Amino acid sequence: MADLSHVLQAAMRRRHLSVQGLADRTGIRTPRIRVFVQDGAEGPVHPTEQELRELADALDLPLAEILPGALAGAPTG
């Protein structure tokens, strides 16, 4: 399974979307998306399950491609 960062970068390239464009499509704040794109799920800001679902929908990605790996990197407490 690919890292969330790589999955987002590749999908954004395919769709010709910037971080701002993806924020506009999802309603997720631009700085949060920027961190997800740069650091993936292991960075200082962890995506919520709802955010991952919105990103997958906006990028036309199968949820299974990003959800399990991203949630595995999220803290449990």
- The amino acid at residue 52 is L
pLDDT at 1 over 50: no
Per residue in 4-18, pLDDT (tens digit) is 999 999 999 999 999
Tokens coding 74 = 């999220």
Rounded CA-CA distance 12/10 in Å is 5
Cα 57 to the center of its chain, rounded Å? 10
- DSSP strands (E only) in 14-53: none
C-alpha dihedral sign at 42, 38, 5, 50:
positive
Per residue in 31-56, pLDDT (tens digit) is 999 999 999 888 888 899 999 999 99
